[in-house]
Amino acid sequence: MPLPLVANTVHVTLRTLVENQTMINNLYCRNEVDGSSNLLAINDVTDAVAVWYNNNIINILSEDVVGTVARGVDMSTNPGLEVELTYNVSGGVASEAAPNNVAAVPSFRTGVGGRSFRGRNYISGVPNSQILINVLDNGFVANVITAYMQLLAGGGVLPANWEWVVVSMFSAGAQRPVGLTTPVQNVIFTDTIVDSQRRRLPGRGK
């Protein structure tokens, strides 16, 4: 069964490589003024998110990390218009990366409770110099939060009329008729202990 459509929304996929293993993070942007079925608008928001990610997230990761591709897809139709932009940006910290499964996990909050109204990213390639055994350095955590906060309204990253949202396609285990979007209001870490995604280890998937 195809996933529900999400009006006026673009799904931006950010791909990085660590030891030739593909890492993917997802962000969603909504534009109710111009809609998302405009290829130029999709290109603009995808490029804006990618440039932000390369300059503010990749830049604080290990030099072992390489940012490669950003893909933007219109979620209002199936199939939707899409763009794919190629980059080659290496991490900015001269430190060996922690193992691929180790991740810093910022949580995206909308001001509404429940799993349908929050999101997160798993950031791999954290410099070992920013981890004390199992705990992320407070300065690194602050830098991640500061970076993601730039995506909020007034942050100057997203083009005019676009806003960063969380997308929910399921409720209580059932698929929604249409996807629900809620604007992100805040970015936090629930704790500073590193998290793990075993599928990101070499040979185990993406």
In a domain, 66, yes or no: yes
**190 assigned to some structural domain:** yes
In a domain, residue 183? The reply is: yes
Give the count of domains, the chain.
1
Report residues of the chain scoring pLDDT below 70.
Answer: 1, 197-206
The number of residues in the chain equals 206
Whether residue 121 lies inside any domain: the answer is yes
Q: How far is CA 116 from CA 97, 146, 172, 191, in A?
A: 32, 24, 9, 21
Which contacts qualify for 134-140: CB closer than 8 Å, 24 or more apart? Answer: 134/193, 134/194, 135/192, 135/193, 135/194, 136/104, 136/189, 136/192, 136/193, 136/194, 138/192, 140/60, 140/104
Q: Which domain holds residue 144?
A: 9-200
Which of 24, 8, 4 lies closest to 121, judged by CA? 24
110 in any annotated domain: yes
Task: Give the contacts of 185 (CB within 8 A, at least 6 positions apart).
Answer: 109, 110, 111, 152
* pTM of the model as a whole: 0.92
Residue 104: DSSP 8-state: B
Q: Which residues pair with 70 in a beta bridge?
A: 14, 85
Q: What is the pLDDT of residue 123?
A: 95
The pLDDT score that the predictor gives to residue 1 is 60
Percent of the chain with pLDDT over 70: 95
Is residue 29 within 8 Å of residue 9, measured between CB atoms? yes
Q: What is the pLDDT of residue 172?
A: 85
